Structure 1
Amino acid sequence: MKRIALILMSLVLTASIATACGQGGTAKKDYDTITMVWYPNESGEDLKAAREEIGNLIKEATGKEVEHKLTTDYAIAIETIANGNAHLSFLGAQGYIEAHNKNANVLPLFVNSGASGTLDDALYYSWLNVKKGNEAPYMKDGKYTIDNIQGKRFSFVSNSSTSGFKVPSSGIVSYFSAMDNWKSLTQEDLVEGGSGKFFKEVLFGGSHQGSAVNLLTGRADVAAFCDTCVANYVELASGTENRPGAVYRVRKDAADPFTSLVGSEFTVISVTPVLNAPFVYNKDVLTEEDAKALTDLFTSDAVAKNEKVFIPKGSEFKGLFASTGTERFVKVEDAWFNPIRELSN
């Protein structure tokens, strides 16, 4: 009888706890360390100091220690934040949307602004690129065109990348589906190459740096990657930044994976603006109090002036966000990313 009574008491206690948690909303895990998971693009050794500065700010805002979780795969980072094994992440717009679709409690905190200091120009650029010297097939009447990318060896970044897959693949489908022989073309058709396929061969670099290396080492004829993720490794050799025809050269001080490619050049043949990437959190595991503290600090004037976060021109610090003096972090809502969602419709 005593055993039965203990079991009944245990069941009642368990039910009471469950009811209390239900009434109070989603129960938060106790934590004294905040885990930040990074994409492969930002996981390199050359960006360690930049990651640590972000970690210092997270600690300043919350009073908690910070663990950096590095990845070699987009899908791992997305799954880690979605399943609550990380509190925070810095994801591209497409990666955020995928994480949010997996768990609606993954939400954006803020993005880096444009030069206006607002969301109005909070953009970076998705490029399609060819090796310098191979531009001729991609020119028509003195202008760059993507007409002849069909049948080539093509490198994307990851199918979870905004500027390395979602945006360029959408643009390719939109352009070529107007032609009778490709009128049924879909984004899924671009994932795999081969006989009868749109591309002769399709590669995935795993990161923007990896896609650029695929191009410069001759594994791909055309490659998609973005301006910001290769900015620490290349310099403008000729032309106008973020415009078709711009030629970029691998810098003398370029870190891995470009150390053996110093001096190599590529030409941008197509440029598409993309919404800036958000810092996101999982509200299942991060308290609203910490989320607010993080937003308040990161969107402050003090962080806008932090030269280890917003890197002024001429600085030798390898960071994530270039600055002209007016950029800052700006609070953002889920709906701001709807234009990227619509690329899948």
Structure 2
Amino acid sequence: MKTMSLLMITFLIAILTACSSNSGDTTTNEQGSASGDNQSAVQTGDKVTMIWLPNESGGNMKEARDEIGALVERATGKEVEHKTTTDYIIAVESIANGSADLAYLGPQAYVEAKGKNDKVEPLVTNSGESGTLDDAMYYSWLAVKKGNEDAYKQGDAFAIDNIQGKRFSFVSNSSTSGFKVPTSSIVTHFSTNKGMTDLKSDDLLEGGDDKFFSQVLYGGSHQGSAVNLLSGKADVAAFCDTCVNNYVELVSGEANTAGAVYKVKADAAAPFNTVAGEELVVISSTPVLNQPFVVNTETISEDDIKSITDVMVSDETAQNPKIFVPKDSEFKGMFKQAGESRFLKVEDAWFNPIRELSKVTAP
């Protein structure tokens, strides 16, 4: 993975959102807890509940979830209960309303949860190869099926001009790399280069004869969006690299760049088992800030939060092959061992570039 400074990431996102305007106000959570000084005292229990987005909720990720849970159990001395989901909204609401104590959320999902309850805070995120936050990123892809890629070229270079009118698959409108980044990129490109100055992100939510896309699908997860593409339901799809890297392998080109070709592994687990051997081509790739583990500070004590953070950022965790998985390992983990990769503390302000993507895009 290329090294890119956080400044450069922020610059890229600023370009995507140069025409943005502010969106709605912060709301209260389902239990009526609002941001401000009148928060109730911390109510902790004898177990810790962790909730997972659909991307990490599959059966093939159980051992990886359990390994993360073991870190929390060691830090707190409390039993960890894992709750998997099939919908982004469930995970966001659960951490915001306190029915979950910890969550592993995408940047946009975290921003939404924080907006619902100011007591939701980030703990750690995984670093880049440098062992710092400077290159702590993953990639938002726009991809097409192998064999169709020439329709998305201008000369020798890939371009997104011809995605208009196509069947398009997003992940969820709460997804950073599966919705917020691609819609901002699309709006900026077409308003700047095609004169579509009235185009907004909301115009991409659904398809139709009078819409930007002929049809819009939602995969519910990054895996689901990729399968929508590979099964022929969509012509173009948005999803991220890290959520599909257990299922696909690079067969040509440079990883995470336009023109890279990936093939579904022959032994890929569900839902990719139905499209084994199919190939996709990346036509656009945009860096995105890594996603955080987050905590509801109303339900976990300050001492437990400190203990969890200390364990996660430790050298021992960085060297755990079931947390940061070596390249030649067959273990299905969430994080790849690369360079000096490890968990690092992260503050809320680090996600401000993502908040820019949450604004309604309007020229």
* Mapping 1:101-120, distance limit 5 Å: 101-120=115-134
1:279 corresponds to: 293
2:224 corresponds to: 210
| SS of alignment partner, residue 242 of structure 2 | helix
2:272 is the counterpart of 1:258: yes
| SS of alignment partner, residue 85 of structure 1 | coil
1:157 corresponds to: 171
Q: Deviations over 1:115-174 (max 9, x none)?
A: 010100000000000000000110112000000000000000000000000001110011
2:152 is the counterpart of 1:138: yes
* Mapping 1:23-172, distance limit 5 Å: 26-172=40-186
Asked whether the equivalents of residues 312 and 325 of structure 1 are also in contact (C-alpha less than 8 Å), the reply is: no
Q: Deviation of residue 325 (structure 1)?
A: 3.9
Asked whether the equivalents of residues 172 and 179 of structure 2 are also in contact (C-alpha less than 8 Å), the reply is: yes
2:330 is the counterpart of 1:329: no
1:10 corresponds to: none
Q: Deviation of residue 179 (structure 1)?
A: 4.3
Q: Structure 1's 232 and 180: CA in aligned 2 closer, same or farther, altered over 3 A?
A: closer
Structure 2 residue aligned with 1:307, among 306, 315, 321?
Answer: 321
TM-score normalised according to structure 1 size:
0.92
Aligned equivalents of 1:25 and 1:106: distance in 2?
12
| SS of alignment partner, residue 293 of structure 2 | strand
Asked whether the equivalents of residues 53 and 87 of structure 2 are also in contact (C-alpha less than 8 Å), the reply is: yes
| SS of alignment partner, residue 230 of structure 1 | coil
Q: Give, as a single letter, the amino acid of the residue that structure 2 aligns with 1:165.
A: F
Q: Deviation of residue 50 (structure 1)?
A: 0.1
Q: Larger % of helix: which?
A: 1
Asked whether the equivalents of residues 108 and 358 of structure 2 are also in contact (C-alpha less than 8 Å), the reply is: no
Q: Deviation of residue 344 (structure 1)?
A: 2.8
Q: Deviation of residue 26 (structure 1)?
A: 2.9
* Mapping 1:332-343, distance limit 5 Å: 332-343=346-357
Aligned equivalents of 1:328 and 1:83: distance in 2?
29
Asked whether the equivalents of residues 129 and 135 of structure 2 are also in contact (C-alpha less than 8 Å), the reply is: yes
Aligned equivalents of 1:47 and 1:66: distance in 2?
16
User: What's the RMSD between the two structures over aligned residues?
Assistant: 1.2
2:305 is the counterpart of 1:291: yes
* Mapping 1:237-248, distance limit 5 Å: 237-248=251-262
Asked whether the equivalents of residues 131 and 339 of structure 2 are also in contact (C-alpha less than 8 Å), the reply is: no
Q: Deviation of residue 326 (structure 1)?
A: 1.2
1:219 corresponds to: 233
* Mapping 1:175-190, distance limit 5 Å: 175-179=189-193, 181-190=195-204
Asked whether the equivalents of residues 111 and 279 of structure 1 are also in contact (C-alpha less than 8 Å), the reply is: yes
Q: Deviation of residue 110 (structure 1)?
A: 0.6
Q: Deviation of residue 277 (structure 1)?
A: 0.2
Number of residue-to-residue matches in the alignment: 323
Structure possessing the higher relative contact order (Cα contacts under 8 Å, 6 or more residues apart)? 2
1:14 corresponds to: none
Aligned equivalents of 2:247 and 2:66: distance in 1?
20
Structure 1 residue aligned with 2:188, among 158, 174, 196?
Answer: 174
Aligned equivalents of 2:194 and 2:249: distance in 1?
40
Q: Deviations over 1:31-55 (max 9, x none)?
A: 0110000000000000000000001
1:13 corresponds to: none
Aligned-pair identity in percent equals 63
TM-score normalised according to structure 2 size:
0.87
